Amino acid sequence: MATPAQAALRPQSLQRRLTLLVIGLMALVWLGTAVMTWRDVRHELDELLDSHLAQAAALLVVQQAAEVDEERSRDAPLLHRYATQVAFQVWHEGQLVQRSANAPSTPMLAAAHEFNSGFRTVPMGDVEWRVFATHGAENDVHVYVGERVASRQSILFAVMRSTLGPLALALPLLALAAWWAVRQGMRPMRRLGQTLATRDPRTLAPVVSADAPAEMQPMLGALNGLFERIGAMMEAERRFTADAAHELRTPIAAIRTQAQVALGETDDARRRHALQATLQGCDRATRLVEQLLTLSRLEAAPAADADTARIAETPPVDLAALARRVLGDSAQAAVARRQTLELDTGDALTIHASETLLTALLRNLVDNALRYSPEGATVRVSVQRDGMALRLRVQDSGPGLTDADLQRLGERFFRVLGSGQSGSGLGWSIVRRIATAQGATAEASRSPELGGLRVDVRWPAA
């Protein structure tokens, strides 16, 4: 048996909530209609019966004026079974000259200093009466016509019973119809739940529901979008695993081979050479792992990172200062190979972007230019404005790439054979992915100035 806490955490049924809401609204509407009908019928009934009393009084006035013998008191006969519900009196000069059999012998309205015509509700004995008083043909003639209030209530109840009775009987049927209608309306959601419950967890195909109403389309669109993103993430994870296994196999095998050589070598110089080769293999593996992790993080980032509004929220980055810092970090490697690093930039060239990602982008470009250029080569970095755009350019005086190699530059793990340099072939993939994530474009071509490779990263509206 569920505890109260578990029962409180149990999700409520949408069908039950909708059914109760519809039935509750129907009951409130029915109750409001009943109250309004009651008041309206009671008002109209009082008006109708009061008019009958006034008409009866008028007839008595005319009849009393036509009487020859005004002094003789007479009682009117009872001609209908409801006649006891109505009473009348005719007084002349303080004398009762005519009345109904059920009327009292005293005035139906208590004597007052002045006689006032009109309607009054007064008690006579234990019964309340609705009495209409008026003058006769002469001012000393008083005519009273009264009706039991209870008879009016009986008529009112009869009218309401005939009007609201069928509606009261129909209310349960309406509630049942509302329940059935809500249940039928919720069928697409129940079918969707069953489809998802029986769905293979490995299936990421879009969910299709032919009879889904318009209200469910946003939910289905969001669900299919989620499946698409999950599929992309799983594909990136599988690709990362395959890439890592493929690329790490070679440096690990080389490290193992050099370690075995160092273990079996008796010559100190050769052992030292084998150990240095082992360290170089470790450095290569470390670099490969870092690039694989960077590329994996970039591919796992949501596509919304490239949205202009989101990029505009990032703090501004001084691209000129960042270029100086990256070139300062690379200066030692350039000096070791007698290479020249040049920087051509203005001041305070800022861009709204991630400083960490821009550092990784520029470091990859500069590192590739230094590593794939020969000794004594020149690597030039420039940051300039080009109209409304901002352009970052890295070019070198190395051998560059052929047109065929430039076409394949975007392929993962593509490396130019015969360069004599170790690498993973992921640098350009990382550069291009960072540029896309930061709202920029990256293009590679031959440098007309230095003759080697030129890479332009451009922000259209910096």
What pLDDT digit, counting tens, does each position of 178-235 carry? 888 888 877 888 888 788 788 887 787 888 877 777 777 888 888 888 888 888 778 7
Q: Are 427 and 363 in contact (CB under 8 A)?
A: no
| The last residue of a domain, from among 253, 273, 300 | 300
Do the domain assignments include residue 183? no
Summarised one tens digit per residue, pLDDT across range 90-117 is 888 778 887 777 778 788 886 544 667 8
| The last residue of a domain, from among 251, 280, 300 | 300
Looking at the structure of the chain, the number of domains it has is 3
CATH number at residue 24: 3.30.450
Q: How far apart are CA 193 and CA 14, in angstroms?
A: 13
In a shared domain, residues 33 and 128 = yes
Contacts of 319 (CB under 8 A, 6+ apart): 345, 349, 350, 351, 358, 383, 390, 392
Do the domain assignments include residue 223? yes
In a shared domain, residues 262 and 313 = no
Nearest to 61 by CA among 104, 91, 87: 91
Letter for the amino acid at 128? E
**Helix, strand or coil, per DSSP, at residue 56:** helix
Q: Are 76 and 145 in contact (CB under 8 A)?
A: no
DSSP for 245-265?
A: HHHHHHHHHHHHHHHHHHHH-
**Helix, strand or coil, per DSSP, at residue 148:** strand
pLDDT at res. 437: 78
Do the domain assignments include residue 180? no
Do the domain assignments include residue 206? no
In a shared domain, residues 284 and 367 = no
CATH number at residue 235: 1.10.287.130
- Structural domain range at position 80: 16-162
pLDDT in tens, the chain (462 residues): 555 555 444 556 667 777 788 888 888 887 887 788 778 777 777 766 676 666 566 666 656 555 534 444 455 555 455 556 777 788 887 788 877 777 787 888 865 446 678 888 888 878 888 888 888 777 778 888 888 888 777 777 877 777 777 777 777 888 888 888 888 877 888 888 788 788 887 787 888 877 777 777 888 888 888 888 888 778 777 776 766 665 566 567 778 888 888 888 778 888 888 888 888 778 777 776 776 676 666 666 654 444 444 555 667 888 888 888 888 888 888 888 899 899 988 766 888 887 877 888 888 888 888 888 888 899 999 988 877 788 899 999 888 777 776 666 655 544 554 444 444 456 677 788 788 878 888 888 888 888 888 989 988 865
In a shared domain, residues 314 and 288 = no
In a shared domain, residues 113 and 134 = yes
Do the domain assignments include residue 322? yes
In a shared domain, residues 377 and 449 = yes
In a shared domain, residues 141 and 277 = no
In a shared domain, residues 341 and 238 = no
In the structure encoding, which two tokens stand for residue 261, read together? 């050589």
Q: How far apart are CA 1 and CA 224, in angstroms?
A: 37
Do the domain assignments include residue 196? no
In a shared domain, residues 99 and 219 = no
Give me the chain's average pLDDT, please. Answer: 75
Q: How far apart are CA 343 and CA 320, in angstroms?
A: 9
Summarised one tens digit per residue, pLDDT across range 111-149 is 544 667 888 888 887 888 888 888 877 777 888 888 888
Do the domain assignments include residue 207? no
In a shared domain, residues 321 and 354 = yes
pLDDT at res. 39: 81
Rg (CA), the chain: 51
Place of tokens 């007309």: 448
pLDDT at res. 345: 84
In a shared domain, residues 258 and 283 = yes
Q: CA torsion, points 107, 113, 115, 116, in degrees to nearest 10? A: -120
In the structure encoding, which two tokens stand for residue 123, read together? 């008690």
Contacts of 107 (CB under 8 A, 6+ apart): 89, 91, 142, 144
CATH number at residue 420: 3.30.565.10
Do the domain assignments include residue 169? no
Contacts of 458 (CB under 8 A, 6+ apart): 386, 389, 390, 391, 392, 440, 441, 443
| The last residue of a domain, from among 241, 270, 300 | 300
In a shared domain, residues 348 and 435 = yes
